[in-house]
Amino acid sequence: MKKYGFIFLMGIITQSSFGQSNAYVVADADEYFRSGRYFDAFFAYRTAARLPEFAGDYQIEQQIKNSSKALYLKKKYQDFRAFKKYDLAKDHLIQLVEINPMDPFRDQIPKITLEQAESFHRMAWRQRSPREVADMLNKAIGYYHQAIKEGLVNESVQVAIKMAEKSIRDTGVTDVPNTTLGVSTQYNQLNKPTTERKVEIKENNPL
């Protein structure tokens, strides 16, 4: 009896240790996801889903989908950013941050907007008429404002706005809307995460 009792006790201890060790699989997957390592997160969550204690777990199944979607969005963001397709890059990055508010690229949202502003500012001097120059500069000012609203803290942005304003006045065009009213340099970090959350993805791009 002592022998069978010992075997039974060891079985309980083994199962308990096995369950505790498997919990680390999910913990590692969560950490991969938070840090933007979506490829690793995807396979870690898939490994967890195959374990008996996590079989059919809704949250893990959703995180498999989220990891796949996030991997897709990250790649598209990087590709569009490389080709300076700023609107598309920003759109994919915003979707990525909605899935993972801790994504390492989250602070790039206002920086993309700043790049758009600087692009329009440079393009202004390639225009043929004063009106076209003024309109392009006005677009640049609008994007500078948007970057500030998105949380960009950079004194040089205010300098760039003033320079663009002066350049508009130098064109002699007087009916350009004033886009500098109400600009605030307060740091509103719109993409700063407040809580961790898992988001259900309707459209999947599985690996």
First-to-last C-alpha distance (Å) of the chain: 53
Cα→Cα distances 142→1, 135, 183, Å? 83, 11, 10
State mean pLDDT over 81-98.
97
With H, G, I as helix, E, B as strand and everything else as coil, classify residue 43.
Answer: helix
- Rounded-to-integer distance, Cα 79 and Cα 88, Å: 10
Q: Rounded to an integer, what distance in angstroms lies between the CA atom of residue 146 and that of residue 129?
A: 26
> Cβ contacts of residue 104 below 8 Å, gap of 6+?
35, 36
Closest by alpha carbon to 200, among 56, 63, 38, 55?
63
With a cut of 80, say whether residue 141 has pLDDT above it. yes
Q: What is the band of 183 on the pLDDT scale with cuts at 50, 70, 90?
A: very low
Please tell me the predicted confidence (pLDDT) of residue 154. 87
What pLDDT, on the 0 to 100 scale, is given for residue 202?
Answer: 45
Distance in angstroms (rounded) separating the CA atoms of residues 81 and 75: 10
CA-derived radius of gyration, the chain: 26
Is residue 177 scored above 80 in pLDDT? no
Over residues 63-79, the pLDDT tens digits come to 999 999 999 999 999 99
* pLDDT per residue as tens digits for the range 25-37: 999 999 999 999 9
Kindly report the pTM of this predicted structure: 0.72
pLDDT at residue 205 above 60?
no
